[in-house]
Structure 1
Amino acid sequence: MGDLRTAVIAGASGYVGTHVREHLEARGVAVRTIGRGEASTATWDDPDALVRAVDGADLVLNLAGRSVSCRYSRQNTDEIFRSRVGTTAALGRAVAAAASPPSLWVNASTGTIYRDARDRPMDEVDGEIGSGLSVEVARAWERELFAAPTSVRRVALRMTIVLGAGGGAINPFINLARIGFGGRMGDGAQRFSWVHVEDVARSIVHLHGHPELSGPVNVAAPEVVMNAELMRRVRTTLGRRRGLPEPQWLLEMGARIIRTEAELVLKSRWVASRALVDSGFVFEHETLQSALDEIAGRTPRGLLPVALG
């Protein structure tokens, strides 16, 4: 496997994309971007520019897609599917048409593809696929990736909930703790699989250097906690001793107010990174406390911004 010199990132302006780009550029990797603005190397409505962008690159990474943190209305659902399946299909055509295609195409997916799991972890070998809208989105996303007319090595990156300072999934939890609603959510027994954003970036570099890895690859830190323990650690890290619990009815009411779905916190996600770990990958943030300490050290006081669906 050659050195990673040039990477193409679709969705580079998002939370994960921004961190991955910074990580790669710090390693001396030249980064091209695909997006909707003039600052991008190529835009989705220019097929020829897409081919030029991916041609000669060592890695193509697709993180594009509308957030699922929204109400599952017909309009939002259509946009979620279109933004994921459509961009993946466009990349597939570009990679297939490139004179010098990339050695690796990594496409975002999600650990939410697995069923609600409270009995055992779900890995790439014997994990059981679940049901529901979020699962159907993930299945369609991955089908488009692996149906692309190219022999390029492809990885569906099944990321669990990404934590990191400055945005992402942690801000709502911090806000709840800071206003006194930092107790368990629902019965608090649902598992919480997570990964620090820096380990997402490191895993992508690792994948490039390990040509034996292809197909679905889970990205989940080794320590998985129950929701009640998650919220306790968020509170203690922020110096809050107590937090009011949030029963399911309250979560569902609150989700409607901020235009999202309660399923995002009530589903039990228990995901194991078997393929990564077996290939020698070591997580920098193996424990939730390690991740929370790093995040707390770079998080300002007060309520934090949260994107509404």
Structure 2
Amino acid sequence: MSTMNYVVICGASGYIGQYLRRSLEASRINVRTIGRSDSSDATWSDRQGVVDVLDGADLVVNLAGRSVSCRYNKRNADEIFSSRVETTAQLGRALARTPQPPSLWINASTGTIYRDARDRPMNERTGELGTGFSVAVARAWEQELFEAPTTVRKVALRMSIVLGAGGGAINPFINLARVGFGGRMGDGRQMFSWVHADDLVRSITHVYEHQAISGPVNVASPVAVTNDVLMREVRASLGRARGLPTPDWMLKLGARVIRTEAELVLKSRWVNPGVLSDTGFEFTFPTLDSALNQIVQETPRGLLPVALG
């Protein structure tokens, strides 16, 4: 089993990047960062600096990319696309120049790459890719990774919705339940694939230790739920029996108000962790109620902050 001593995180300022960094540092792993701000160990504009930070690392994890929680107008769409594809391309060029490159390059991707699925779960082998803007971004993102001019082992982490205390995707659902709108969204039958942030971090370590793993890897709990069940579980974890449902038209109106897209909750994402399961990965939080109960214990009362697009 390979020992991990030194990890580079690109895009460490977001919720997932911060969570990953804290977890690795708690395990006494040296973490350095590449990003846009001067607080990073290297900035994207400093090409040699990027190479220097990568040199001698065991693993690089690229999470860089503008949030998709925004309206998909041309300016935002261009930023979503370029912030993912261009940083991935630059990282590939830098790794090709690195004297002692990491043995593994994990690049963020998304379970949204699969089609709207209500009939069966999508795994890496038999899953069907979808269409539309989000899918086009994901396809280009992964293509840039796998065509990069480096022999480093590459994994595209097709992440489902990441749930954890302290921010991220769970806050809007908790807020809705706390103000009484914790019912189903749309018809409530769309599938919701998710993963606890702890299991995401553990999956990264698992992929590093299992050197035969390469290519796309789905990161999702094996137990997906419908949106109706999601909202019921959120209410239960908060001790609330009822919540008003939110019909399609209200979601679309509300999404415009908070400058995001209704697709983020209406698309049916049913992602199965085929590669992780086949290689013996065991989830600490396989069921939604176990994840939510842990998250709620660490969540303050009142309305929680939500990043607006």
Report the TM-score when normalising by structure 2: 0.99
Report the AA paired with residue 288 of structure 2. Answer: L
SS at match of 1:107: strand
Partner of 2:176: 176
Asked whether 1:129 is paired with 2:136, we answer no
Cα distance in 1 for partners of 2:176, 2:27 equals 36
Partner of 1:255: 255
Percent identical:
67
Report the AA paired with residue 146 of structure 1. Answer: F
Within a 5 Å distance, the mapping from 1:43-54 to structure 2 comes to: 43-54=43-54
Partner of 2:296: 296
Within a 5 Å distance, the mapping from 1:50-199 to structure 2 comes to: 50-199=50-199
SS at match of 1:235: helix
The superposition leaves residues 57-114 of structure 1 with CA deviations (integer Å, 9 ceiling, x where unpaired) of: 0000000100111000000000001100011011001101001111000000000000
Give the deviation of 1:244 after TM superposition: 0.5
Give the deviation of 1:7 after TM superposition: 0.4
Partner of 1:202: 202
Give the deviation of 1:127 after TM superposition: 0.2
The superposition leaves residues 227-262 of structure 1 with CA deviations (integer Å, 9 ceiling, x where unpaired) of: 001001101110111111100000000000000000
SS at match of 2:210: coil
SS at match of 2:228: helix
Cα distance in 1 for partners of 2:180, 2:139 equals 38
The number of equivalent residue pairs is 309
Following TM superposition, the consecutive aligned residue runs of length 4 or more in structure 1 with deviations greater than 3 angstroms are none
- For structure 1, which runs of at least 5 residues remain unmatched after alignment? none
- For structure 2, which runs of at least 5 residues remain unmatched after alignment? none
SS at match of 1:255: helix
Within a 5 Å distance, the mapping from 1:195-234 to structure 2 comes to: 195-234=195-234
Cα distance in 2 for partners of 1:41, 1:277 equals 35
RMSD of Structure 2 on Structure 1 (CA): 0.7
Cα distance in 2 for partners of 1:53, 1:207 equals 22
Cα distance in 2 for partners of 1:39, 1:75 equals 26
